[in-house]
Structure 1
Amino acid sequence: MLTKIRCLFALAILAAPCMTFAETPLALANPGFEQERAGWSGETIMSQVTAEAAYEGQFGLRVKDDDKKAGSSFRSQSLPVKPETAYALRFHARNSGNRGAVGAYLQFFDAAGKQLNAPGRYPEIILPVPVTKDWQPFTLVGKAPAEAVTASIWIHSFNGATGMTDFDNFTLSELSPEEEKTVSSTSVAAASSRRFPPIDNQRVAELALLLPTAPAGLGRPISDRAAWDRLATLPEAASIIKSAEALINTTPPELPDDLYLEFTQNGNRTRYQRPYGQRTGRISTLLRAECLENQGRFLPTLEQDIIAMCDERSWVMPAHDSALENFHGKRLYSDLGSSARGKLLALTDWWLQDRLSDTVRQRLRAEVNRRILDPYFNVIHTGDLAGHWWVVGGNNWNAVCTANVVITALTLRESAQERAEVLAAMEISNPIFLSGFTPDGYCSEGMGYWNYGFGHFMIMGEAVLAATNGKLSIYNDPIIENICAFARNAQIEEGLVPAFADCGTNAKPSENTLLLIQRRYPQTLHQRVAISNPFKMDLDTFALTAFGDETPFAEKVAQEGQFPPRSYFQDAGILIMRSQHPEHGQFGAAIKAGHNNEQHNHNDVGSFLVALNGHAYIIDPGAEVYTKRTFSRERYVSNMLNSYGHPLPVVAGKLQSTGRKAAGTIIREDFSDDVDHIVIDYQAAYDVPELAKLERSFTFDRKNARVDIRDDVVFNTPQTFGSALITYDRVHQRDANALAIYDGQGGFAVTARAEGGELVYAPEEIENPDRRSPTRLGYNLSEPVLQASIAYTIQPLTSLIGLPGFYVAPDEATFKPQRDQAITIEAEAFTAQAQGEVKIEVKPGASKQAFKLWDGEGHSLSWTFAVPQTGKYALLVRCCHSFNDGVARHVTIDGKQLNADNDPFLFPGTGGWSSSEDQWADAWLAAAGQATIIELAAGEHSLTMVNADGRGLNLDWIRIVPVAP
């Protein structure tokens, strides 16, 4: 008790008027629980004031939560606060091992007593107490919103979490504006008991002997004119010069403070990251252009951009600086973005060397050392992670940040001893990163993060080999070969991979990473990788491959590969199935068992997708646009991340649980040339006490191009049950239990059926802000059941004719167009346009010129033409665009609309915009597979087309084609 009185006395002294920057303590009643529960309120089962929880004095608060569903609640009395003023909550706590399941909250309330720190209003101010070996002090800083009148402290164990945490010695103080700049919340990573293991000095000495006296970077300096002049002769080099010329005398985009602070205020991370990335792109373009041209004309703009980057308040991205420690300069650490900035500037220094002015070069090196290398050396020397949690992390961050720091140090640090220390630390971090993969090489983060994380690992491997003249290799773990093979084994067909976890639906193996794999593990590749355009590579891969001859590596791989019938990641519980069906083409599927504690986890045990000819029509929806919520304790509020937005059941009204125990077990597997069949027991994925059985049977029939999925459920008491399919494509309900899921290229017929109950169809859009929203095709049993099954049969559609909303080419034999007598209108020869403006240019494959940027809804174009004689005509257009599901246009002739107002004509996707290659295709003006025939009198007419959907459509020409009588 005496100690606590002394603490309060000290705070009172700090609050005295003579102290310029003194914190002002609030009169918090019973801050150390010496009057037991006086001044506090809440439940008494999980939250107990007890002597065993005392840090000082007689009592402390112990939160002991053994309930997997409910959380604790313990709150201080309300205290008056000032609006838009910062406050610091301080306390001592110890956590014996419940991994941050208990949090201390600082909550503000308005005059009506309504909580302001709630979803949809202001972000929560919370400090989850990390696992600690003993008592530790913690600080939580938060700012009162403008409406705030009172505040209170809330201690809460999260719903579904269990464990025990002790608290004592709470204080709450008002901060002056000056104090707000220096006082910050305790970093959870720094407070954790995790530390970086000490490096072995003997190993450092060994590594130092492998390194040259002077540092060196990747690629060739500008002074190596033979290397750069050879690259300058490549046709693609001109585009780099042209892009750089457009940047001369321009300034980098602004990065104002208010844009950085948006993430902490409303969770938006993209508005800052866009100009942040543009600054990186500018330097990369100017750097390559200057090295290619070697005339100095890009140097002034490049040096301007380098200084602008050095002047940035923080290199760390806002989403990784939620406590604003980097922003306020309180503590510097590396994240994905800041470490990449350091590496980029190091490469710039290495390539340009003394071409950069002394002032710029000194500033560049000072900032890279201050922001990136010095904090990393502090981790190595002290073991204190200090925000560098990734050095002992098992996901992509480890490889990306470690690679960036290692390459930066090898490029800039003069001391071989220091470079060796970084390599020794890398040897500690690398096995931790590799442990994030299953032994069979599966990357649960998805293909996009495999490209990013493992791609950086391969870049680091090549950089280390180069720096040590081939004497040190990081390719010494046998799992690396399996991880390399992930790119081949995860593809359902060329360029199509399952979008499990935070993977994009269009993700595919990166050419950059495959090129590096081809050097070391060619046996793992599907087929040969050739450099298509070296200037499209990232700078690292460009530096590693563009200056040499990759042919010897490429020749070790077959030019064209063939996928096997299946790939089975048995350790991860992932099955990929493939077929080349003679009638329907490429047919494939994937299904996962796994568990719900994977890297970039979704609650998706049992999820699957079915694909046809390179497109997944029945899908796992993949990643959402990242916001503050995505990586918070509210992650699974999102239906894109919880099981509701996946092709999975809702069991007794509940979704899947999160955690390693929420898993699926493959209890049966039968594979043959014609059929693959597995059964997954995933009862453990649902926390439903009444659930006695839940099994998913999945059958892939190659011979008949058919997939059958069946869920069998048994309850101890009658419960509700429903299932679903997910799609991004168009859906047409043929009857109560039959659907067509399709786009303009094809699709699937789906039949649903049930045993033990009656199905009710319930389609629903899944909210996916700032990105295309998937549709959940729910099938629910109408009444609670004891035992039931829901099954789906999925087969390719035999025809799109009769399905609404997509272009179907008419059969010319049915309307007999006379193409040789057609009247051609060049698209660029329009006579009028309204509500927009197209750009005319030469495009590959176009007859003369063409136009682009016809992408504004309501933008109309008009042409005039004359027909020599009265008769029937059809319209044929030569067009291109990249939308698989087509684009829509209203069409009128002489003021008469040829289509219904709400049913515009559709034009099919052609695979691209004919920007660098001929991607034009001919399309008739047609509806439901029938050409639109127009009666025209001899003489002049007008034709108008209006953008009906806001999508782009490039036109080369329009032809008015006579139709034979």
Structure 2
Amino acid sequence: MTGIEQLTLRQLKSALERAQDEGAPLFPEAADPRSWRRSRQDPRCAQVWNDIRTAGESFLSAAAPPLPYSAFTLFHRTGDRTRYDDSYFDRRRRLCVLAMLAIADEEGERWIAPLQDIIWAICDEYTWVIPAHVGLYHNDYPSGIWDRPEPPRETVDLFAGETAFALAEITGLLEERLEPWVVRRARDEIGRRVLNVYFADPAPQNWELKTNNWPAVCASCIGGSALWLVRDPEKLAGMLWRTLAALRQHLQGFDEQGATPEGAAYWQFGFGYYVYFAELLYSRTAGQVDLLAGEKLRRIACFPRSCMLTGSQVINFSDAPAEIDYQPGLYDRLRRRFPEAASPEQAPVYKGAFRSWMMASRMLLWMEPEAPAPGRYGGLPRREDYYFPGHGWVVSKSADAGGLVAFAAKGGSNDEPHNHNDLGHFIVHVRGRSVLCDLGAGEYTRQYFQPAYRYEQLTAGSYGHSVPVAAGAGQTAGASHRARPLGYERTDERVVYRLDLTGAYPDAALERLHREFVWERPAQAGGEARYSLTVRDECVFGKAESFESAFICSLPPALEGAGCAAIGPVTMIYDAERFVCRVTEERYRTIAGEERTAYRLVLAASEPSVRTVCEVRFEINGRG
């Protein structure tokens, strides 16, 4: 058995050749009717299967939405990406749902004709690349893309890859029941739009140069499509070798402790696809190639546990949502290999995962039986502390009869994937709510990914984070703007984390800005649970300058006299003689385009000074 770091091309070719004639199914759970039956009979899956059938019935009575040119170019003309994308992903949901019903429903044949229609419609699309990703490989993207007489060369983006993988797998599973022209056309389009684009052109795809979720998703989809469609082991070995290079690139984005600065949601997306492909390759090579082998892979598989808060809430630094829809099958599959990994106690839901056949099918078919699983996340009491020095994250979680209380802070750099200018930012989660919070991703538009616009937005700029403002200036984006760790200490009673934030700011007059977090918690879970966080900033200038420390709150703060403010279950205590407190209500739009409100609580030094020390204490009240 060989892992990704040790694997050679010769070993890959040999493994594919030796397993060529074994005939084992690539996706054994999907090929076994008993797996589908178990899923449909699992009480945890009852609601999602009801939703699948309801969706299927609605698809029978309403045609797939069109994808007109006017919607396709809307991203170029206004920056909007929702109108086209909504219709595009509606078609992918139809593909997923109709394929599941064709395989698993008692009236399976009823769903074949509409499934063939949606496959044919997807094959008719001008491109499988969404408008926001057209021409993404150009260095001056998005300038000079849409106003040229010739469209840019075809590429493989996340969703073209997903489309190819889904069509390859669905036609592979249903080949004997689909009409041959449908199967042939789907496979021809996969070859033309994805396999030939990637393997016939040596020019790197934009994502092959990155370490974020993109190389994982794109390479896994391309490799997964090839596993389903290419029989010749020698040819397949050469194709997979290039995809494996991109997957190694993805793994470089995790630090040595297995953390990614993209957080739990993008871990589930990016590394999830890595796992889907790894399992297919394991089956195709009869267990000779195991891309999940190795200590670093174990640490990556365990990373989401550190991010999990109450229910579906997570620590969400950068462009990450505060809540995610867990895909329990993925976590259960990883726990087979790594028992210390987390399995969220959440039933599958018919939501975003169903835009992708790969995510939805594994979510349902990989779930373990409902019997209690030792070490399953959610047992109380517990205490967990994490330090990820490679990306500068600190997480401390404690639970008692009142619920989960957690603190998280980040250093790192202002040049991370899905970057926010947020060095020294932190979250305090109290029994079901992140009171001091991260706003997550702003609405994804063309402008949001242009730095001049992006960092003027509340969600991505330092103004929308719990960080200082030094001499009137916020933090600056770029690789040179980094936090320098000064120390991490942990005992049963406290966690101390110190950062040098000087490099995060542009002002030449700033000589030093240090931030210290002291998180205090009960030595043992249970009993009188008292928690507090002290945030101490020391700022030194070359001459007297202004200083402010901002705190982003999900609940409206109430000023309760000099030196005290209540933020829901948290009381903030500060020096009212030296700092003036003000609160502003801030409106912003989420990644889903929803209007939300947050509250920005600011402590401003009363007088400019060469040296300012600001110490704030957040006390968590009782068990409420």
Tell me whether the two structures share a fold, i.e. TM-score over 0.5.
yes
Write the mapping of 1:924-943 to structure 2, written as runs, cut at 5 A: none
C-alpha deviation, 1:514, in angstroms: 0.9
TM-score when scaled to structure 1?
0.57
Residue 607 of structure 2, aligned match among 783, 797, 816: 783
C-alpha deviation, 1:637, in angstroms: 2.4
Contact 2:330 2:362 in 1 (8 A): no
Map of 2:468 onto structure 1: 649
User: Aligned partners of 1:487, 1:653: CA distance in 2, in Å?
Assistant: 37
Map of 2:582 onto structure 1: 761
Contact 1:754 1:788 in 2 (8 A): no
User: Aligned partners of 1:765, 1:519: CA distance in 2, in Å?
Assistant: 45
Amino acid at match of 1:309: I
Map of 1:587 onto structure 2: 405
The alignment of Structure 1 onto Structure 2 pairs a total of residues equal to 589
Q: Which has the higher helix share?
A: 2
User: Aligned partners of 1:678, 1:432: CA distance in 2, in Å?
Assistant: 30
User: Aligned partners of 1:422, 1:652: CA distance in 2, in Å?
Assistant: 55
SS in 2 for 1:255: coil
Q: 1:766 to 1:558 in 2, by over 3 A?
A: closer
Q: Deviations over 1:541-598 (max 9, x none)?
A: 665586688459985645764643422223322111223467x643221111222122
Amino acid at match of 1:587: V
C-alpha deviation, 1:311, in angstroms: 0.8
Q: 1:390 to 1:554 in 2, by over 3 A?
A: farther
Write the mapping of 1:354-373 to structure 2, written as runs, cut at 5 A: 354-373=176-195
Map of 2:306 onto structure 1: 489
**Residue 469 (str. 1) matches residue 296 (str. 2):** no
**Residue 454 (str. 1) matches residue 271 (str. 2):** yes
**Residue 671 (str. 1) matches residue 490 (str. 2):** yes
Write the mapping of 1:621-640 to structure 2, written as runs, cut at 5 A: 621-634=439-452, 635-640=454-459
Map of 1:601 onto structure 2: 419
User: Aligned partners of 2:367, 2:463: CA distance in 1, in Å?
Assistant: 50
SS in 1 for 2:537: strand
SS in 2 for 1:505: coil
Map of 2:261 onto structure 1: 444
Residue 285 of structure 1, aligned match among 94, 97, 110: 97
C-alpha deviation, 1:677, in angstroms: 2.0
C-alpha deviation, 1:436, in angstroms: 0.4
**Residue 719 (str. 1) matches residue 541 (str. 2):** no
Per mean C-alpha deviation after superposition, the further-off stretch among 460-469 and 787-796 is 787-796
Amino acid at match of 1:684: G
Write the mapping of 1:471-620 to structure 2, written as runs, cut at 5 A: 471-492=288-309, 495-507=312-324, 510-525=327-342, 539-540=357-358, 543=361, 550=368, 557=375, 561=379, 563-580=382-399, 585-620=403-438
User: Aligned partners of 1:415, 1:205: CA distance in 2, in Å?
Assistant: 10
User: Aligned partners of 1:673, 1:221: CA distance in 2, in Å?
Assistant: 47
Map of 2:555 onto structure 1: 729
Residue 20 of structure 2, aligned match among 207, 212, 215: 212
Q: Deviations over 1:704-731 (max 9, x none)?
A: 3221112111111011111111012233
Contact 1:250 1:301 in 2 (8 A): no
C-alpha deviation, 1:700, in angstroms: 1.2
Q: 1:450 to 1:733 in 2, by over 3 A?
A: same
User: Aligned partners of 1:374, 1:215: CA distance in 2, in Å?
Assistant: 27
Contact 1:754 1:791 in 2 (8 A): no
Q: 1:328 to 1:451 in 2, by over 3 A?
A: farther
C-alpha deviation, 1:239, in angstroms: 4.7
Map of 1:149 onto structure 2: none
User: Aligned partners of 2:364, 2:451: CA distance in 1, in Å?
Assistant: 44
C-alpha deviation, 1:255, in angstroms: 1.3
C-alpha deviation, 1:766, in angstroms: 5.0
Map of 1:35 onto structure 2: none
Q: Which has the higher strand share?
A: 1
SS in 2 for 1:246: helix
Contact 2:562 2:576 in 1 (8 A): no
Q: Deviations over 1:599-644 (max 9, x none)?
A: 2111111000111102111112221111112222323222321211
Q: 1:422 to 1:676 in 2, by over 3 A?
A: same
Write the mapping of 1:174-213 to structure 2, written as runs, cut at 5 A: 202=10, 205-212=13-20
**Residue 428 (str. 1) matches residue 237 (str. 2):** no
User: Aligned partners of 1:610, 1:528: CA distance in 2, in Å?
Assistant: 21
Contact 1:699 1:708 in 2 (8 A): yes
Residue 686 of structure 1, aligned match among 505, 509, 534: 505
Amino acid at match of 2:269: Y
Map of 2:526 onto structure 1: none
C-alpha deviation, 1:645, in angstroms: 0.8
C-alpha deviation, 1:670, in angstroms: 3.3
CA RMSD of aligned residues (A): 3.2
Contact 1:528 1:554 in 2 (8 A): no
Write the mapping of 1:183-262 to structure 2, written as runs, cut at 5 A: 202=10, 205-212=13-20, 217-219=26-28, 228=36, 236=46, 237=49, 239-262=51-74
5+ unaligned residues in a row in structure 2: which ranges?
1-6, 135-141, 523-529
C-alpha deviation, 1:681, in angstroms: 1.6
User: Aligned partners of 2:609, 2:41: CA distance in 1, in Å?
Assistant: 73
User: Aligned partners of 1:475, 1:731: CA distance in 2, in Å?
Assistant: 46
Residue 318 of structure 1, aligned match among 131, 139, 161: 131
Amino acid at match of 1:248: L
Q: Deviations over 1:800-824 (max 9, x none)?
A: 9xxxxxxxxxxxxxxxxxxxxxxxx
Map of 2:157 onto structure 1: 335
Map of 1:273 onto structure 2: 85
Q: 1:559 to 1:609 in 2, by over 3 A?
A: closer
User: Aligned partners of 1:600, 1:231: CA distance in 2, in Å?
Assistant: 35
Q: Share of identical aligned residues, percent?
A: 26
Q: 1:614 to 1:424 in 2, by over 3 A?
A: same
Q: Deviations over 1:389-435 (max 9, x none)?
A: 22342110010111111111111223333322222223322221101
Q: 1:377 to 1:791 in 2, by over 3 A?
A: same
Amino acid at match of 2:220: A
C-alpha deviation, 1:513, in angstroms: 2.6
Map of 1:738 onto structure 2: 564
5+ unaligned residues in a row in structure 1: which ranges?
1-198, 801-965
Contact 1:497 1:508 in 2 (8 A): no
C-alpha deviation, 1:794, in angstroms: 1.3
User: Aligned partners of 1:496, 1:333: CA distance in 2, in Å?
Assistant: 35
Larger radius of gyration: 1
User: Aligned partners of 1:798, 1:220: CA distance in 2, in Å?
Assistant: 48
C-alpha deviation, 1:325, in angstroms: 11
Map of 1:409 onto structure 2: 226
Amino acid at match of 2:195: L
User: Aligned partners of 1:552, 1:470: CA distance in 2, in Å?
Assistant: 27
C-alpha deviation, 1:475, in angstroms: 2.0
Q: 1:552 to 1:418 in 2, by over 3 A?
A: farther
Q: 1:675 to 1:741 in 2, by over 3 A?
A: same
Amino acid at match of 2:27: L
SS in 2 for 1:298: helix
TM-score when scaled to structure 2?
0.86
SS in 2 for 1:637: coil
SS in 1 for 2:440: coil
User: Aligned partners of 1:751, 1:498: CA distance in 2, in Å?
Assistant: 24
**Residue 397 (str. 1) matches residue 214 (str. 2):** yes
Per mean C-alpha deviation after superposition, the further-off stretch among 607-616 and 505-514 is 505-514
User: Aligned partners of 1:397, 1:657: CA distance in 2, in Å?
Assistant: 25
Contact 1:761 1:777 in 2 (8 A): yes
Contact 2:328 2:348 in 1 (8 A): no
Q: 1:415 to 1:216 in 2, by over 3 A?
A: farther
Contact 1:464 1:472 in 2 (8 A): yes
Q: 1:662 to 1:201 in 2, by over 3 A?
A: closer
Map of 1:930 onto structure 2: none
SS in 2 for 1:773: strand
Write the mapping of 1:150-189 to structure 2, written as runs, cut at 5 A: none
